[in-house]
Every structure is written in structure tokens, then in C-alpha cells.
Amino acid sequence: MTNVLILGANGHLARNTIPVFLRTDVRLRLFLRKPARLKNPDPARAEVMEGDVLDDEALTSAMQGQDVVYANLAGPMAQQAKNIITAMHATGLKRLIFISSMGIYDEVPGERYRSILDPYRDSAALIEASDLEYTILRPGWFKHDPGVNYKITRKGEPFSGHNISLDSLSHLIVELALTPGLYARESIGVSDR
């Protein structure tokens, strides 16, 4: 059984991904600042834990006994990325799935995203410079279409499309968490096929 720590577990994407994880052989630790916001979906296989990624002690404690870290965050992302890297080193964890955004490398043809993406660029640069077995996901805009149908673009390739269904992205996150080495040390764009 794989132990997965979800940072920012009350986020829209994380809430969509939790039930997909629970259809597999995993145990989840759901880490969030205000745990009263999230009902435990399966007390036998999921633990809700209060904490802030900016709190080094709480973050390191949350990582104990985990196999994979899936970070679904907003806010001061560079500092959060630094704290995640430090806590993963302290606990010996290697596998990180980190949600970023399309456009952080100016890879979307015809689009220039200004400073709004700076926190995503900065956090991605820190993670890429680490020795972690990371996968940075750069999704398009979320939509609610059912089904799994996505395409991948690698760093350096033009991003194709602007949207991604939450179900497609959740499916990919679970596949990344459960498949050792899949897109390891890569930053991949994800959009609808």
C-alpha cells in the first residue's frame, strides 16, 4: 500500500483527486490549514491533519511514513517549495508531484502571462534545482467535463490547448503517484487532447 501525503488537501483539484486515489490501494494523509473544512472521505484509509506548509515542524511531521508528496498549493509558493524540499530531505522522501501552471516558461503560443505567474515560475525553478524525484504539472485552465482524455507536452515544447478536465488531471496525478519513475524529474504541460 502506498502512503500519499496531499498538501493543500482542500483545494479544488485535490478534492477531485482524493476519490480517484481511494479507488486504488493507497493510504492518504490530508494536510490542510483548516481541517474542519474537509470531511474525512474514508477514516480507514485517510487521515486529516491540520498544518501549514510554512510551518517546518508540522510539515516534517506530516511527511513521516509517507511515500509520495502531492502538493496542490497557492500563496507564497517559493517559500512553500523551499519548505517542502527541506522537509523531504529531513524525512528521506524523494517523490514529489507539484502543481504549477501553464505559461511559466512562456510556452503558450500567442500568450504572455505577466507577473501573475512569478510565484509558479519561482517555485518550479527551486524544485527543478533540487535532487528530488519531482514531476511538475503545468495544467491548462480547469473544466468539469467528465472522462479522461489529455495530452502531455514537455518543457521546451509549445503548450497545446488551454483547458484540462479535472478528471483527466486527477487520473494523471494518481498514475504519477503509483508508477515509479513516470515523468520523473520532468515538468510537463497537461491539456485536453
Domain segments of the chain as ranges: 2-192
The pLDDT value given to residue 112: 75
Name which CATH class applies to 2-192: alpha beta
Q: What is the pLDDT of residues 55-80, one digit of tens each?
A: 999 999 999 999 999 999 999 999 99
**Of residues 162, 173, 128, the one with CA closest to residue 4:** 173
State the pLDDT confidence band at 160, using cuts at 50, 70 and 90: confident
State the pLDDT confidence band at 38, using cuts at 50, 70 and 90: very high
The pLDDT value given to residue 29: 98
Residues recorded for the chain: 193
Task: State the alpha helices, DSSP H only, in the chain.
Answer: 12-21, 56-63, 77-91, 118-128, 166-178
The pLDDT value given to residue 162: 82
The pLDDT value given to residue 116: 86
Strands 46-50 and 26-32: parallel
The pLDDT value given to residue 115: 79
**Of residues 81, 71, 63, the one with CA closest to residue 177:** 71
**Of residues 90, 11, 17, 25, the one with CA closest to residue 57:** 90
Do residues 98 and 137 touch, judged by C-beta distance below 8 A? yes
Do residues 1 and 178 touch, judged by C-beta distance below 8 A? no
Query: For all residues of the chain together, what is the average pLDDT?
Result: 95
